[in-house]
Amino acid sequence: MLYAMLCYNSEEIVGSWSKAEDDAMMERLDVIRQRLTREGKLGPVARLMDTTAAVTLRKAGRGRRLEPSDEPAIVTDGPFAETKEQLLGFYVLDCANLDEALAIARELGQENPGGAYEIRPVRLFFPGAAQPGAPGRIDR
């Protein structure tokens, strides 16, 4: 089974660590990450930038298909702040800039209306070494 582990903490508090404190913590985590990588258990790991760097695309529509009467998608600054929707998954995209990322979000939103995509720049990225069987298959 593949698990996604989602990290939560107060960014104001984490952001107030000194560079030395932050570096020291990242080093401690690196030890664990390296072990998990050797064991083939670790997939992609990302550390995101502050939510202040985020924009959110509120997707058009609500149903399974877009209707002509649906309001268009809108982009707002800041993180996704509603609580009535839940985090259902994530993409990692390599784009030249925010506009390209937004274009992809719009394209995905055309096929999968409703909800929102929060687009947040990634601060650190490790591709990982997990090989969970064939692509798209979930091993049991």
Nearest alpha-carbon partner for 3 in 128, 105, 125, 124: 128
φ and ψ at 69, to 5 degrees? Answer: -80, -5
Residue 131 interacting with another protein (CB under 8 A): no
Please report, as residue ranges, which positions from 10 to 29 form the binding site for another protein (by CB under 8 A).
Answer: 10, 12-13, 15-17, 21
Q: Which residues pair with 124 in a beta bridge?
A: 47
Q: Is the Cβ of residue 19 or residue 64 nearer to another protein in the bound state?
A: 19
Burial of 12 (0-12, 13-18, 19+ CB in 10 A): exposed
30, 93, 123, 133: residue in contact with another protein (rule CB under 8 A)? 123
30, 35, 52, 125: residue in contact with another protein (rule CB under 8 A)? 52
Per-residue contact string for residues 93-112; x = within reach of another protein by CB under 8 A: ----xxx-------------
Residue 121 interacting with another protein (CB under 8 A): yes
Between the alpha carbon of residue 109 and those of residues 28, 50, 56, the distances in Å are 39, 24, 12
Interface residues with another protein (CB under 8 A) are: 10, 12-13, 15-17, 21, 49-53, 55, 75-78, 97-99, 121, 123
